[in-house]
Structure 1
């Protein structure tokens, strides 16, 4: 019933110093300098001495049903497995459909999300796909968001990409209207999650949309912003206007996550509206042709170990910041009494995963999944 994490250096994600954390079933119920196991019944004690204790990672851009398809049927990427997600330190995932809305569907995305949640993590999805009019389950973005519990926004809608159908400003305005209204009616984030390609237009259509409408700027989440220097500069401008941006892990042609965050910090930009996601299980230009969800965790480690950025600042880009943008805070993205028991415990010396707890259950020990999905060996 109870789990007691003893003597860990807690980042909630702000630095709290050495604390004990008491979990009851799937919730955090207490955080103190000392909690005595002798006062508890049916308690499992986890020694976290010489460890850093953080919220579980929120990955807001994962192709859970598989991405790809751009090179024909053989390039369709299989569904992601539960163990791959948790071994990446991820306890909450948001599924996206992406380019292929012919052999994939919102119904399949929703079913996969429900399956992963039954296996032990928290899941949400975006309705929609690259195109516009975009894919939905109920026939409208608005009703998908308002009525389907797992749908928290629309995306990834592609702009500045030859694979998109180049949505007009009116198309984007309609999508934003539907997402905004659906979010209001369903008490959801109602975000418009935008895939931004390498096209020359970059973020220009988003700038025009914000300038020529009254939509709240914080409902727009443009991703892949670190894919080239010009787009990154536009992302900085969007931040300065009050917007938010999402960086993609594993970027090799533009700026790495560590480089991009270091550049933002050097310019004195507050990172509270900057997030990082993996694009996991989507198509990639690497040898395997698949984006590795684990690259997100690798990039976060590199920010601290190789670029000397503060862990409390970097970890927010994959915990507190996405939780606030997606309106999951304080249930997710933090270590607070009453929050979900999603906890990432890292070894202090090398930031490798010592334990990962998802919804109160230990799912990873010493970097290996101790719980696997229904159809995993």
Structure 2
């Protein structure tokens, strides 16, 4: 597994300019102005990819994907299907973090872990979060701490629902205890320890999160508040939360009604944050892929749903770059370096020596995805799918 990516304009996500990238054994071996085949031992084994006229980005990270499916708010027939490998790779994504949502009953942690391991075997990197909307959290081992300490794929808990009519209404003491369990077990296992919080459009918004932060010694950086763009008020409060050290996660999958009801489109949100000169460091995007996009009446009655798609992740970034004039390095950081920091993925999110060889190459004029390399292996080349899932 030796690959030489030649002549692309590299964003690490910081702009590096025109560079060559050599990957060996699934890792980035070096990045230089020029690397010749003569410098490489066994160069007859090298796969050379011509990236001239292309942008070269780190492989995208989607921090919120219902890899085993989600939904179910309208009954059994509304359970959404599990994701397939090529859904992910053709979206430029090389790392996913799987989670459960509303349904932590007919969906379970065993299936979630098994699906993550399937995706790892098929060629990408997959992690999971323990639990669902519900507190107390339903885990694999019976304890949050043991899940995080003993299971490599488990990065934290989530998505825990707050300020939502589907929330299980945890008390502040329950929430404090959960976050403390995540922090201590993460310290013992060398992980970051993430608490992914589903924010609904209820009146409380960030209120419970602020209470935990203000009434404990737990750093805000453990919190990843997702769906932070679901309405203007949530978004504006999220900017304060982000400045305070928490991670604000914006959801790219949407429907027309959500936008008409006040949801802030992600590409526009990136422009607004850029115009306010707010640092992007604690800002992430995720797709909510395979999750349901349910439509409820004001009284809470279920009206219908659509399914979130992982392709929306880069689509919003692309629109931010092409239509909203957000600098490339800022826009790309929200789906590469920033989620890697938020979830403690030390080998992901950047193109630099020693990091995992996850690379997404896009056409310069159109910004369309062309080639995707995961852990040093080319899965999509010039829009041709080279590797499919086991049953695709």
TM-score using structure 1 length: 0.97
Paired position in structure 1 for 2:329:
312
Q: Corresponding residue for 1:334? A: 350
Aligned to 1:374: 390
For 2:248 and 2:104, how far apart are their aligned partners in 1?
A: 25
Residue in 2 aligned with 1:232?
A: 235
Distance 1:369 1:285, change over 3 A: farther
Counterpart of 1:265 in structure 2 is: 274
Which residue number corresponds to residue 203 of structure 1? 206
Q: Name the stretch that deviates more: 141-150 or 247-256.
A: 247-256
Match status 1:126 vs 2:129 = yes
Shift of 1:39: 3.2
Are the aligned partners of 2:271 and 2:325 in contact in 1 as well (CA < 8 Å)? no
Q: Please give the secondary structure, in 1, of the residue aligned with 2:70.
A: coil
The one-character-per-residue Cα deviations of 1:78-99 (angstroms, maximum 9, x if unpaired) are 1100010111110000000111
Contact 1:37 1:45 in 2 (8 A): no
Is structure 2 residue 147 aligned with structure 1 residue 144?
yes
Moved more, 360-369 or 187-196: 360-369
Q: Single out whichever of 259-268 and 210-219 deviates more from structure 2.
A: 259-268
Residue segments in structure 2 that go unaligned for 5+ positions in a row: 296-303
Q: Map 1:57-76 to 2 at 5 A.
A: 57-76=60-79
2-structure distance, mates of 1:298, 1:240: 26
Contact kept, 8 Å, 1:87 with 1:368, in 2: the verdict is no
Deviation at 1:339, TM superposition (A): 0.8
Measured after TM superposition, the shift of residue 240 of structure 1 is 2.5
Which secondary structure does the structure 1 equivalent of 2:236 belong to? Answer: helix
1:285 offset after TM fit, Å?
A: 4.4
C-alpha distance in structure 1 between counterparts of 2:239 and 2:374, whole Å: 34
Deviation at 1:23, TM superposition (A): 1.0
Aligned residue pairs: how many? 375
CA contact (8 A) 2:182 2:193 kept: yes
Paired residue secondary structure (1:318)? coil
**What corresponds to 2:298 in structure 1?**
none
Q: What's the offset of the Cα at 1:284?
A: 1.2
Deviations 1:200-254 (A, max 9, x none): 1111111111111110110011100000011111101112222221111034421
- Return the offset for 1:366: 3.1
Alignment-derived partner of residue 19 in structure 1: 19
How does 1:292-311 map onto structure 2 within 5 Å?
A: 292-311=309-328
Shift of 1:297: 1.0
1:279 aligns with 2:288: yes
The alignment yields a C-alpha RMSD, in angstroms, of 1.2
